Copies of this chain bind each other. A is one copy, B any other.
Amino acid sequence: MKKQYAQLSSEYRLLLGPGPVEVSPRVLSAMSHPLYGHLDPNFFEIANESMELLRYVFQTKNALTLPMSGTGSAGMETVMVNLIEPGDKVIICVCGVFGERLRDAAGRFGAKVVSVEASMGEAIDPEKVREAFKAHKDIKLVAIVHAETSTGVKQPLEKISEIAKEYNALFVVDAVTSLGGVELKIDEWGIDACYSGTQKALSCPPGLSPVTFNDKAVEVIGNRKTKVSSWYFDLNMIKNYWGQERLYHHTAPINMVYGLREALLMVYEEGLTARFARHQLNSDAFVAGIEAMGLSMTVKNKEHRLPTLNAVNIPDGVNDALVRSFLLTKYGIEIGGGLGDFKGKAWRVGLMGESSKRNNVIQLLAALSDALLDQKFKVSVGQGIEAALAVYNGR
């Protein structure tokens, strides 16, 4: 007897974790559109539109702007493996798990890594980057995380970009949890290479990683003395598929591109300014609610808080795992646990893309209050929601 398999399960979920987040039915529907081949002229039109819309979202004119065929970390690998040659000296800024990941990757590709660090929950101090440049000659690039998903820190970028330029180094940015949800100006801020993911503020399923490189970065890649130490991520070949040449490299993930194009169209229709304001408002309301409930945010400096990823300190005596499973089983709500040093110490609440909604903020505050009361932690349900409503209504 053959084992029987059931249909895909359909339990209700509201995704308010670090990603994937909620995806519009419009995007899901695009995912199930019949396929064109990856060399079909009709697909190339869809690919061109996707690149055009990515340039809009990245606020860039960079020709080399495309979705890599992998999740966000594939974008990280693409940027680092193409820009780094064995022996290169690089500065990696680390104030969380995703900075550590950049450092790990740089080392694997043969770089000599100089680390600039900050405590988890804090941003990198630009002066420390300057000190690193002073202490080490011939730095090829500085890499930094714009939105540290493990802590909820939003890193100011402009000052560090200026310092990188003073020392003639490339400026590389991880924008996985910021692109489409937080102001990010590739050209104006002098970012030479940047990568992101689709399952965060773009509100698309995971599976692609948008990347962008300016001419200076493209030149560095073109002038390498050694082959890129990856075949799958070698941009010298990949750019000839996404460019005019249309040379086959690997088979593009057709349906993922359909989904991304639709998700980007939704960003484009809403407009970046309105979208950033929406993300900020919902985060402000959430934070007001959390603080009114007597809880506190992990990132102390308000200027450095991400609206997309809101880290909340877990109060003493409250069991992390029990609260999250309460939310999941009683409400179908997913929030994220802590990562790295914050494991068991913080919850990570994603208010990104389709998940960044008034409805979601209100119901999460109520559900979280319920979960805390279940843990015998005293909290007033009303106070949290009232504080959030006050933000929405400008009271």
A residues near B (Cβ < 8 Å) are 2, 5, 8-11, 13, 15, 17, 19-20, 22-23, 28-40, 42, 45-46, 49, 53, 69-74, 76-77, 81, 101, 104-105, 107-109, 197, 199, 205-207, 227-233, 248-256, 258-259, 261-262, 265, 268, 328, 334, 339
- Residue among A28, A46, A70, A252 with most chain B CB within 10 A: A70
Partner of A20, one of B35, B53, B81, B334: B35
10 interchain pairs, CB-CB under 8 A:
A5-B268, A11-B42, A13-B36, A28-B32, A71-B252, A72-B250, A77-B232, A197-B251, A206-B253, A232-B233
Bound CA–CA A11/B206 (angstroms): 27
Partner of A105, one of B73, B231, B339: B231
B35 touches A251 (CB 8 A): no
Partner of A42, one of B9, B72, B258: B9
B34 touches A253 (CB 8 A): no
Select from chain B the residue with minimum beta-carbon distance to A21: B35
Please give, as numbers and ranges, the residues of chain B lying within 8 Å of A22 by CB-CB distance. 35
A73 touches B28 (CB 8 A): no
Main SS of the interface on chain A?
A: loop
| A105-B231, A265-B5 known; A35-B49 Cβ under 8 A | no
A114 to chain B, nearest CB (A): 19
B35 touches A15 (CB 8 A): yes
Bound CA–CA A346/B154 (angstroms): 54
Please give, as numbers and ranges, the residues of chain B lying within 8 Å of A13 by CB-CB distance. 34-37, 40
A9 touches B46 (CB 8 A): yes
Bound CA–CA A15/B259 (angstroms): 20
Bound CA–CA A167/B29 (angstroms): 52
Please give, as numbers and ranges, the residues of chain B lying within 8 Å of A20 by CB-CB distance. 35, 37-38, 251, 254
Please give, as numbers and ranges, the residues of chain B lying within 8 Å of A30 by CB-CB distance. 8
